[in-house]
Amino acid sequence: MSCCTPTAAVIAPETCANCGKEGTDIVKLKNCTACFLVKYCGVDCQKSHRKLHKRACKKRAAELKDEELYAQGHERPESDFCPLCLLAIPFPMNVHSMFYSCCSKLVCNGCAYATHVVRRQGDSNSCPFCRAPSPENDEEGLKRTQRRVAAKDPEAMVFLGNLYKNGSCGLEKNVPRAMKLWTEAAELGSTTAHADMGIAYYNGWGVAQDKAKGMCCWESAAMQGHATTRHTLGIFEFDGGNYDRAVRHLLISAKMGLKESLNEIKELFVNGHIAKAQFAEGLKGYQDAVEEMKSSDREVAATLGLNKNKY
Confidence bin at 123 (pLDDT 50/70/90): low
In CATH, which superfamily holds the domain spanning 137-225? Tetratricopeptide repeat domain (1.25.40.10)
Number of helices (H) and strands (E), helices first, in the chain?
Answer: 14, 4
Listed by start position, the domains of the chain span 80-134, 137-225, 229-295
145, burial (CB in 10 Å: exposed 0-12, middle 13-18, buried 19+): buried
- 99 with 159: CB under 8 angstroms? yes
pLDDT of residue 78: 94
Considering only CA atoms, which of 148, 170, 151 is closest in space to residue 159?
148
What integer best gives the mean pLDDT of the chain?
A: 90
Look at residue 171 and give its three-state secondary structure: coil
Peptide linkage before 135 cis (omega within 30 of 0): no
Please name the residues in contact with 131: beta carbons below 8 A apart, sequence gap of 6 or more.
Answer: 121, 122
C-alpha triplet 170, 176, 181: angle, nearest 5°: 80
Q: Is residue 1 scored above 80 in pLDDT?
A: no
pLDDT of residue 33: 86
Q: How many CB atoms lie within 10 A of CB 305?
A: 9
Confidence bin at 124 (pLDDT 50/70/90): low
118, burial (CB in 10 Å: exposed 0-12, middle 13-18, buried 19+): exposed
d(CA 171, CA 178) in angstroms, rounded, equals 11
The mean pLDDT value for 278-307 works out to: 94
More confident residue, 1 or 100: 100
- 99 with 122: CB under 8 angstroms? no
Confidence bin at 122 (pLDDT 50/70/90): low
Q: Is residue 310 scored above 90 in pLDDT?
A: no
Confidence bin at 58 (pLDDT 50/70/90): confident
Long-range contacts, stretch 26-33, CB < 8 angstroms, 24+ apart: 32/57
Please name the residues in contact with 11: beta carbons below 8 A apart, sequence gap of 6 or more.
Answer: none
Alpha helices by DSSP H, listed for 108-210, are 109-113, 138-150, 154-166, 175-187, 191-203
The mean pLDDT value for 281-303 works out to: 96
The mean pLDDT value for 219-229 works out to: 97
pLDDT of residue 9: 45
Handedness of CA 265, 270, 272, 278 (dihedral sign): positive
Look at residue 23 and give its three-state secondary structure: coil
Q: What is the pLDDT of residues 59-80, one digit of tens each?
A: 888 788 889 999 999 999 999 9
Point out which residues pair with 302 in neighbouring strands.
Answer: none
Q: What is the pLDDT of residues 128-156, one digit of tens each?
A: 999 999 888 889 999 999 999 999 999 99
The mean pLDDT value for 156-162 works out to: 96
- 102 with 144: CB under 8 angstroms? yes
Share of the chain above pLDDT 70, in %: 93
Q: What is the pLDDT of residues 163-205, one digit of tens each?
A: 999 998 889 999 999 999 999 999 999 999 999 999 999 999 8
pLDDT of residue 306: 75
Q: Is residue 27 scored above 90 in pLDDT?
A: no
